[in-house]
Amino acid sequence: MSATLATILKELDPSIRILIVERLDGPGLESSAARNNAGTGHAANCELNYTPEGIDGRIDPKKALAINSSFERSLEFWSSLVEKGRLSSNKFLNVLPHISFVSGQNDVDFLFKRQQILSRFSAFKSMKFSMDREELNQWAPLVMEGRNPEEVVAGTIVERGVDVDFGSLTKSFIESLKSQDDFEVAYCSTVVDLFKIDKERWTVKLKSPSGPREIITPFIFLGAGGGALTLLQKSSIKEGSIYAGFPVSGQWLICSEKKLTNKHHAKVYGKPKVGAPPMSVPHLDTRWINGERSLLFGPFAGFSGKFLKYGSRLDLLRSLRVNNISSIFQVGLKNLDLVSYLANQLMQAESDRFKDLKRFFPNAQEHDWELSIAGQRVQIIKATETGGELKMGTEVVTSSDGSLAALLGASPGASTAVTIMLEVLHRCWRHKISSDSWMKRLKLLLPSYGEDLNANDELLNKMRKRSDALLDLI
């Protein structure tokens, strides 16, 4: 996320001086590392939690459309960087059909209704629904083989989906930034404190291999993933005082057996269990990590006090404050099905995890799979007048003077980084972003900037054609 913001800023004004501070010894090793997330280019093609069914049975397409156009914006941005020779798409992007798969009459009815609603929009026009077992077998043979012939099943497919290695993308961003003037990245350096010294400047205190270091800066972006809440609290800005965080850990089952990896070519998303948070929708995915093809199934959620995979078990405890502790308890009471879901997941033995995989891939053999630890997510809890509210998405928090921005939460995450960073610029760099010079450069970087892709079919198709050609998506 920070590398995306730095790249956008440098494209808009190459004279801006930027320092990225990273506590680990390289870029993109936390949540953005390929194995720590699912690498889905979230476009709402297959993720059923982006189109929840209301109690009246209606499906609202709003969220799915917003996520889809956000992802198109990311593709547009990456395309421009490829065009400029700053990125190479074959290092981080692979085309992969996005499939939703469900069983049982209720879920089949839901999936049909979802496809009927979404495919009315240009963004999802190519979405196809099928209950034909032979066709489903062609789409996802591992999911169909060995399945009870009596089971009612259905799927939808969008061929134009992608798998993204966000770790490689981060590395590419940093490599490109390092070749430009006035850019520095300090590895093995931890931000330990930050405070405002006067109206216009912040001091940031670092613990670095060469000893303590102090940076003076007019603007800070806290893009520290799960660590952002801790830093937001240290900044003491008023706007940050209403937030708390609840960490959710994750695990995957991974398979590198060629006989299986060669047989599956899709991201297949199912229906989440009752109470499951959005990041726990089970899916069986083809992944490319460092050019190696593998299969990933999960995630299995759990609880750990850490805010970062390479963090401390005391992170949650240290984040508790008088003004956020009650909202955590209220959220716990209001979301008992989530609490019981997490407790269940925590108690899961290896054999239970394998049973979940078998529901998806009936012929799976235990010895082909190994357990891998995913990244941590810190779900946002926001204090409201009526008590605490659990937020499943991302939230940009900014100080009233625009000198600090923090990114909390993780869903839909890295896929929508460009849209999120535009929000940061609009809130913190208001005058600059409306200036002629920035506007001109923004239009070159994001040709559809300022337009609503969902309201302009011609533009959407034009932008898709451009991204497909520049990113080799066809």
Give residues in contact with ligand FAD (CB under 6 A): 1-2, 21-24, 29-32, 36-40, 42, 166, 190-191, 223-225, 227, 231, 250, 279, 299, 308, 374-375, 377, 407, 410, 412-415
Q: How far is the CB of 195 from ligand FAD (least distance, A)?
A: 15
Q: How far is the CB of 312 from ligand FAD (least distance, A)?
A: 11
Q: Which residue is nearest to ligand FAD (CB)?
A: 225
Q: How far is the CB of 54 from ligand FAD (least distance, A)?
A: 26
* Identity of residue 133: R
The nearer residue to ligand FAD, 245 or 413, going by C-beta atoms, is 413
Q: How far is the CB of 41 from ligand FAD (least distance, A)?
A: 7
For residue 456, the tally of other CB atoms under 10 A from its CB is 14
The nearer residue to ligand FAD, 153 or 414, going by C-beta atoms, is 414
* Identity of residue 262: N
Q: How far is the CB of 32 from ligand FAD (least distance, A)?
A: 3
The nearer residue to ligand FAD, 151 or 193, going by C-beta atoms, is 193
- Compute the chain's Rg from CA coordinates: 22
For residue 62, the tally of other CB atoms under 10 A from its CB is 10
Reported residue count of the chain is 474
Q: Is residue 304 a contact partner of residue 377, using CB atoms and an 8 Å limit?
A: no
Q: How far is the CB of 56 from ligand FAD (least distance, A)?
A: 30
Q: How far is the CB of 17 from ligand FAD (least distance, A)?
A: 18
Q: Is residue 211 a contact partner of residue 189, using CB atoms and an 8 Å limit?
A: no
Q: How far is the CB of 340 from ligand FAD (least distance, A)?
A: 20
**Coil, strand or helix: which one is 270?**
coil
**Of 7, 39, 4, which is closest to residue 419 (Cα–Cα)?**
4
User: Tokens 């026009």 belong to which residue?
Assistant: 125
**CA 212 to CA 233: how far, in whole Å?**
21
Tokens of 449: 């900037």
The nearer residue to ligand FAD, 161 or 388, going by C-beta atoms, is 161
The nearer residue to ligand FAD, 21 or 383, going by C-beta atoms, is 21
The nearer residue to ligand FAD, 383 or 414, going by C-beta atoms, is 414
**Of 173, 168, 169, 179, which is closest to residue 8 (Cα–Cα)?**
173
What does the buried/exposed string (b/e) look like for 263-296 if buried means 16 or more CB atoms within 10 Å of the residue's CB? ebbbbbbbbbeeebbbbbbbbbbbbbbeeebbbb
The nearer residue to ligand FAD, 147 or 309, going by C-beta atoms, is 309
Q: If 0-12 CB within 10 Å is exposed, 13-18 middle and 19+ buried, where does residue 298 land?
A: buried
H or E stretch covering 404: strand 404-408
Q: How far is the CB of 34 from ligand FAD (least distance, A)?
A: 10
The nearer residue to ligand FAD, 140 or 144, going by C-beta atoms, is 140
Q: DSSP string of 207-232?
A: EETTEEEEEEES-EEE--GGGHHHHH
The nearer residue to ligand FAD, 155 or 225, going by C-beta atoms, is 225
User: Tokens 């404050």 belong to which residue?
Assistant: 321
